[in-house]
């Protein structure tokens, strides 16, 4: 807080000083009697100089650091799909490479027809944030899995 000497103190400044005194009391720098004495002095002051005297022998309060910004995480569906795409891409590249080695020359690069369109669809979905909507086959499969886990009529054992 900027405490300019000689100018009159406002109620907001007095309240801020009382709040600081409360923090010092909570931290154990002041006992209750001294806290009450200083609060009475704060409300009796008229200038900023007098306010500064109330806090003169106390350390300045350090503001707590701002909380860290949340880290953007890649959604699970993007990680799964990117992993699948990468795995399949490596498999078809290895197959193409082995075929080219066995023939003795580079053959037609057919993996582009697997890697390219699938990668383009993934890129489109990442850029737009598009996911499977409720009512699609993926969503229905998820609902079916949930229904199997919560079966109201579990099968009975026959003795």
Domain ranges of the chain: 1-63, 76-133
75-89, 100-114, 139-153: which is most confident: 100-114
For the cut 90, the answer to whether the pLDDT of residue 156 exceeds it is no
Helix (H, G, I), strand (E, B) or coil at 8: strand
Find the range with the poorest average confidence among 36-45, 61-70, 90-99, 104-113.
61-70
> Given this model, what pLDDT does residue 73 score?
80
Q: What digits encode the pLDDT tens for the residues 31-67? A: 899 899 989 998 888 888 888 888 888 888 877 778 8
Question: Rounded to two decimals, what is the model's pTM?
Answer: 0.42
Buried b (16+ CB within 10 A) or exposed e, 84-99: ebeeebeebeeebeee
Query: What's the CA gap between 135 and 142, in Å, rounded?
Result: 11
pLDDT at 96 over 90: yes
Chain-centroid distance of CA 55 in Å reads: 38
In whole angstroms, how large is the CA radius of gyration of the chain?
Answer: 35
The residue whose two tokens read 């850029």 is 127
């Amino acid at each position: 807080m900027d405490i300019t000497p000689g100018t009159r103190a406002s109620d907001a400044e007095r309240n801020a000083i009382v709040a600081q005194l409360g923090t010092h009391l909570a931290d154990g720098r002041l006992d209750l009697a001294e806290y009450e004495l200083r609060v009475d002095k704060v409300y009796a002051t008229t200038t900023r100089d007098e306010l500064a005297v109330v806090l003169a022998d106390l350390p300045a309060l350090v503001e707590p650091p701002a909380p860290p910004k949340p880290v953007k995480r890649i959604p699970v569906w993007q990680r799964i799909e990117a992993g699948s795409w990468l795995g399949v891409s490596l498999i078809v590249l290895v197959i193409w490479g082995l075929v080219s080695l066995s023939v003795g020359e580079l053959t037609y690069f057919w993996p582009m027809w697997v890697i390219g369109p699938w990668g383009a669809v993934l890129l489109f979905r990442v850029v737009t944030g598009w996911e499977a909507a409720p009512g699609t086959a993926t969503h229905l499969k998820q609902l079916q899995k949930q229904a199997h886990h919560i079966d109201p009529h579990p099968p009975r054992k026959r003795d």
